[in-house]
Amino acid sequence: MGRSKESDCPAGEYSMADRLEMMLSMLSHIKREQNDLNPAVNPRRTQALPERLRWRALLGFAASLVVIAGQVHTAFGNPAQVTNLLQPLSQPAQEIKDLSLLVLAICAAIFLIVVGLLVYAIVRFRHRPGDEASEPPQIYGSNQIETAWTVLPILIVFVLILVTSRTIADIQNRKAAPGAVHATVVGHQWWWEIRYPELGIVTANELHVPASDNSRGQPTFLKLQSADVAHSFWIPQLAGKTDVIPGRENSMWFEPTQPGTYLGNCAEYCGMQHARMLIRVIVHPPGEFERWVAEQKGAAAEEPSAQDGRRVFFANSCVNCHTIRGTSAQGAFGPDLTHLMSRETLASGTTPNTLETLRAWVRDPQKLKVGCLMPNMQMTDTEVDQIVSYLQTLK
Ligand code: CUA
């Protein structure tokens, strides 16, 4: 609170608005005097340096704009692949967006008031010729103004705390009702393992869930674990980010109502291929999720035409890292391949799952995804073809 020296300053003469204006005037006056009177500053440098720095800053700013524009273009070049944070299609993403807009509106109002007063003070009390002789009116604070700018922010912060805690509690206290889908997502460098313990299904990178409709709520509850380093699971249109931490199990849920494919990405830097650790959530219309589950529960295909490839696959070290259910391949380091061809993409969304990309992947995974943990197995062209023709039968 400011000191109110009523003897020096006849309080009755000024209204509250006058006082606010005078305080702003004094502030700009003080700043100007500090600059004018600072003896430590070399007058020649103060003229030369800011000019040079100003140009450098301008150039730097322009360069960063160009770089950012390039990134934005890359990111938004394919609109179908970009997920819109501001178009949530599920709880809790909707609730989070509503809260963010409220917080943004309050902060924007504060910003506009502060910047408005600042601009007003800069323009109204700018330096004019002949100002040196005159002193601005001397005032010593105002209890009303100071009370207002202390109490108002406290009230605003209090409102923000209340609405934020209500939203957090809403999201965290949601309990899984019967009928909810449960899955465990394990973050690996650099792919997602997805297990449905109750359904006996294991897949990778593509999380299949049912859509909820008015008659039937079918939320999905996830347990999040990490096999190595910290990752973060984020599907912007479905729910907020949740970190995936080694040695700890986090949880989250979402309840999409619109069928479709939702994209997400690992949201915590986790090493070289962090950017290629995409997540797809495929939301099935009511009834279709059950069909997908039935297909995934089926045993791995054993087509006689792919016997050669099968033999090469099992003779190589593929089996040490990959599982094909019902066979001796029981490795757990890499993705489960039992129904590999039911997946849309390879290498965690790096590339579409086609014959050509699958062959390129088996030939040398390091070309598609540098640093990934699957090495180049140095196989001959024939072996690659045979393995790929076997993998292609794993529908
Ligand atoms: Cu996983 Cu970033």
- Identify the pLDDT of residue 34: 56
Report which protein residue has its CA nearest ligand 1's atom 1: 231
Bridge partner residues of 232 (DSSP): 243
The answer to whether position 356 is within a domain reads yes
C-alpha to C-alpha distance for 291 and 284, rounded to whole angstroms = 10
Q: Which residues contact 216 (CB under 8 A, 6 or more apart)?
A: 179, 286
Question: pLDDT value at position 45?
Answer: 44
Strand order in the sheet with 90-91: 90-91, 250-256, 220-226, 181-188, 191-196, 201-204
Q: How far is the CA of 266 from the centre of ligand 1 (A)?
A: 4
How much is the pLDDT for 9?
45
Q: Which pLDDT does position 75 carry in this prediction?
A: 46
Residues 16-61 have pLDDT tens digits of 677 677 666 666 655 555 555 554 544 444 445 567 777 888 888 8
- Residue 79: its pLDDT value, please? 47
**pLDDT per position as a tens digit, 301-320:** 888 887 888 888 888 888 88
- The two tokens of residue 271 are 């090493």
Q: Give the pair of three-digit tokens for residue 80.
A: 């179908």
**Which residue range(s) make up the domain with 315?**
304-391
Taking the CA of residue 270 as reference, the ligand 1 atom at the shortest distance is 2
Q: What's the pLDDT tens digit per position in 262-297?
A: 999 999 999 999 999 999 999 999 889 999 999 998
Residue 314 covered by a domain: yes
- CA-nearest of 372, 306, 299 to 339 is 299
Q: What's the CA-to-centroid distance between 190 and ligand 1, angstroms? A: 6
Q: Does a structural domain hold residue 259?
A: no
Q: Which residues form the pocket of ligand 1, taking CB atoms under 6 Å from any ligand atom?
A: 187, 190, 231, 266, 268-270, 274, 277
Q: Looking at the domain assignment, is residue 193 inside a domain?
A: no
Would residue 375 count as lying in a domain? yes
Whether the predicted pLDDT of 1 surpasses 50: no
Structural domain count of the chain:
2
Question: Which range has the worst mean pLDDT, 155-169, 181-195, 207-221, 298-312?
Answer: 298-312
pLDDT at 5: 42
Contact 361, 380 (CB under 8 A): no
Q: Does residue 226 belong to any structural domain of this protein?
A: no
Q: Look at residue 271 in the predicted model and tell me its pLDDT.
A: 93
**What separation in Å is there between the alpha carbon of 253 and the centre of ligand 1?**
20
Give CA–CA dist 220/211, Å, rounded: 9
Q: In this predicted structure, what is the pLDDT of residue 383? A: 87
Q: What is the pTM assigned to this prediction?
A: 0.74
Residue 153 lies in a domain: no
Please, are residues 261 and 345 in contact by the beta-carbon 8 Å criterion?
A: no
pLDDT in tens, 210-260: 998 878 888 999 999 999 999 999 999 999 899 999 999 999 999 999 999
Residue 69 lies in a domain: no
For helices 381-391 and 307-315, what crossing angle results, to 10°? 110
Are 334 and 263 spatial neighbours (Cβ–Cβ below 8 Å)? no
